[in-house]
Structure 1
Amino acid sequence: MKITKINTYICHAYRTNWVFVRVETNVPGLYGVGEATLEYKEHTVAMACQELERDFVGHDPHNIEAFFHLAYRNAYWRGGPVLMSAISAVEMALWDIKGKDLGVPVYQLLGGKLRDAVPCYANGWFASAKSPDEFAEMAKKAVEQGFTALKWDPFGSAYLQIDRKGMDHALSCVAAVCDAIQDKADVIIEAHGRFDVPTAIRLGHALEAFDVLWFEEPIPPQNLEGLAEVKRRIKVPISGGERLYNKWEYKTLFDLKAVDYIQPDVSHAGGIMELKKIAAMAEANHIPFCPHNPSGPVANAATLQLAACVPNFFLLETMSSDVPWRREICDEEVVFTEGKMGIPDKPGLGIDIFPEQMEKYPYKAVGLRHYKNTLTDIRPEGAISYFKN
């Protein structure tokens, strides 16, 4: 069997544009799908995926370790979000091909599953909320959906520091949500790498009163020593890792003892096997594995295959709703019951994409919302759930 082509597809998804790949083979009807969604660099990462075609057409798609090794080695300018997202997408597509060719879901190729469903926390549940009361009402609805933890960033447009007014508003929103859901769900506070070290420490102390599950990426992700310092000086658990791109960067994170939870992304950190290796490193450090998973349907499918077979898996990030056309552009079948998402048993990743449907939703330029105080403008009117209860 040989790789014959790597196709890329970009589909508008409101807050970003999804980037998908389809790796074709010389076996009629046998191909694999992957996802390289990289917010605000969609065309760049799509071209990086296509550039891999030059080196890998004619190669056996079953040799996945060889693909990763050669793609990483031959880049010379190694690491970083663009290269690693491209490698990730093609790598997961190769697993999809292998699973389909052998007639088994990918988790069977990774040692078999430990669980039939995985507990999830909600992201995106807060769409359009601005005031504490609005956050509280939307939190109640998310809990009614079955989510056992809710995550959001309450910090408006703050960067590096936050003024008293902004801090008071953020903490008022946290208090309102905690009061609304009480003991029905945990609260996770996201910071998107906003703050300097003293501000992160100050906020961490303030969040202790709410018993949050974790405080996510409190400082810019490049400063792992600073993250370790924040962790040492507050009592709230720290999470991070969505902007680390391979096992070597994670080694430094573990050596510094900088986090309590890790959040690698299957679309950015090298793909399925690289995340399996990172999870094993975390397991040796007794650190839970909580994959970053806010992107599209193929990334979600790949992450579910991982979640099935990683012993130290803890919680899966899940978008509580999405654009209505998510159901049009793929055959995703996600079952969400009692706070858990089921593991698909179809061969490969268990999902296919429909490029002809994506043509109805072409690329639209979307900018970063995090410092414009528009972070809750994450979903359009008419957004719907994409899973079955």
Structure 2
Amino acid sequence: MYTNKKENPRDKEIQNDTKGRRSFIKKVGLGGLSLAGLTAASANEQLSYVSQNVNRNSSPSTLKITDMRIAEIGGDVAFRTPIVRIYTNQGIVGHGDVRDGAAKEYALFLKSRILGENPCNVERLFGIIKQFGFHGRQGGGVSAVEMALWDLAGKAYNVPVYQMLGGKYRDKVRLYCDTTVSKDANEYANRMQARIDQGYTALKMDIGINLIKDIPGAIINSPDADYNPYRYEYRSYNLTKHPFTRVQITDKGIDLLMEYLDVMRSKIGYDIPMGTDHWGHFGVNEAIKIARATEPYNLAYIEDIIPWQYTEQWKEITQSSTTPTQTGEDIYRLEGGFEELIKTRSVDIVHPDPNTAGGILETKKIGDFASRHGIGFMHHHAAGPVSFIGCVHSAAATENFMWLEHHAVDKNDWENLVTGFEGPIVKDGYVTVPEKPGIGVELNEEVVKKHLIKGEKLFAPTPEWDKIRAWDRLWS
């Protein structure tokens, strides 16, 4: 037995081995390493080199989910957005956002389904929870959890999410941004020019019957008519699906709407792609009128001019005009959602929001399917920066991707909600694809605290959601 006063030969061996590894890695860092150099190195040197980037704080095969909590933000920093945090037995955490305007309970309901599971089995866990999502905001819970799982898996294996999706097609992701509305056409155009001056190379404007509803003779059966078409209804105009409002746009109304496009193009020119959204609630005939009227202005797309579910009507609009059509921000998953729209070529562009569509991988699958059918592919987004960067990974990993929406251009503290990004997140209308593990950012808890919804606590315990109280099987 060796005492403390005598030198242990094994200690000396370890010291020499450590010095050798350090010397070897130092030489590698200075001069690089060729394949021949690696082959000639000792076994210990080879092991040190190839494993130097492995995350030794995590053992992926034994990683387990131990908790899930929520911090809900809103106000002047973002649309109301519940942030999900998933905890593990190894101290690493993963984050995702529930869809803007969705309920945090959509995510909390899933907690009991994933506790004790290995978060690295993302696709398997998605198979367990996907039945609890649906179209619109109801897809927000499943999508947030899926995104947080990818964040954890990337951190566990020390690679960015895009790498686990098969690698990237681009180093920077191109953005498009909304522009605040003005009833003054010239002021509206000036605001769009200001976006270009900020570096954005693709834009979208909200234009529709709300801009002309007060002008006599422009709109038939307007929701703001003197006789109020909804005074005896239990539903309001904005909760009435488009075909059932019986709103019509007159020739005068069409001319007034086209004036906005004319002034816009006169101001910003034709080099910048310009899409449009929020036209109003009306049926397929009015949509065709608008699509045809906009042709001289070469719009990039008209978005959600009728509800996405009316596949045949979308196809009729698409085939009636050369103006591209687009929908998808409220569709959940490829199967039962985007699949029919794409296969039938009912629209020219699909526009999933990863926070509704089912998360990062499901969104990539939608993009790949669209590519095989010659359909364009964009991303909608209007939540916090965590899921925004998650969208960047999906966009980077999908070949036919076009543009990602940035809906927080005027939110001064939005980027400050996270840390870890090199420089500003958005620069000259692009986002550089992160190379850090997972999604690539962490929460700045002090800033998150500033913007919590009134009465909300920062990641308060949620033990009431720990146990399953239902039988989930969908077959007998």
| TM > 0.5 fold call | yes
Which of 98, 109, 116 is 1:36 aligned to? 98
Q: Name the structure 2 match of 1:383.
A: none
The CA deviation string for residues 57-113 of structure 1, in whole angstroms up to 9 with x for no partner, is 10110111111111124x4xx523344210100101010011111111111111111
CA distance in 1 between counterparts of 2:315 and 2:387 reads 29
Over the aligned positions, Cα root-mean-square deviation in angstroms equals 2.1
CA contact 2:415–2:425 (8 Å) conserved in 1: no
SS at match of 2:431: strand
Q: RCO greater where, 1 or 2, for CA within 8 Å and sep 6 or more? A: 1
TM-score, normalised via structure 1 length: 0.85
1:25 to 50, 65, 88: 88
Aligned 1:239-278 pairs, distance under 5 A: 239-248=326-335, 249-278=337-366
Q: Is the 8 A contact 2:249 2:286 kept in 1?
A: no
Deviations for 1:111-163, whole angstroms, at most 9, x for unmatched residues?
1111111222221xx32522101111111111112222210111143774354
Offset at residue 361 of structure 1 (A): 2.3
Partner of 1:223: 310
Q: Which residue of 1 aligns with 2:8?
A: none
How far off is 1:172 after superposition? 1.5
**1:12 and 2:74 matched:** yes
Residue equivalent to 1:87: 142
> Structure 1's 181 and 63: CA in aligned 2 closer, same or farther, altered over 3 A?
same
One-letter code aligned to 1:49:
A
Are residue 153 (structure 1) and residue 215 (structure 2) matched?
A: no
Displacement of 1:320 after TM fit?
Answer: 6.0
1:14-64 deviations in Å (ceiling 9; x for gaps): 472122101111112x0100011332x3xx3x1121111111110110111
Larger Rg: 2
The one-letter amino acid paired with 1:114 is Y
Contact 2:181 2:206 in 1 (8 A): no
Q: Which of the numbers 180, 188, 199 marks the counterpart of 1:135? A: 188
Report what 2:126 is aligned to: 68
Distance in 2, Cα, partners of 1:193 & 1:63: 43
Note the 1:1-389 alignment, pairs <5 A: 1-14=63-76, 16-28=79-91, 30-39=92-101, 41=102, 44=103, 46-73=104-131, 75=132, 79-123=134-178, 126-127=179-180, 129-157=182-210, 160=242, 161-164=247-250, 166-191=253-278, 194-248=281-335, 249-319=337-407, 321-331=409-419, 333=421, 334-363=424-453
TM (normalized to structure 2)?
A: 0.70
The unaligned stretches of length 5 or more in structure 2 are: 1-62, 214-236, 456-476
Check the 8 A contact 1:37/1:296 in 2, yes or no. no
Q: 1:377 maps to which residue? A: none
Contact persistence 2:181–2:205 (CA under 8 A)? no
Structure 1 position 170, deviation (Å): 2.4
Shift in Å, 1:271: 0.4
1:322-350: CA deviations, max 9, x gaps? Answer: 32222442226344445432111111101
Percent identity (aligned):
30
- CA drift at 1:355: 4.1
Distance 1:22 1:193 in 2: 37
Structure 1 alignment gaps of length 5 or more: 366-389
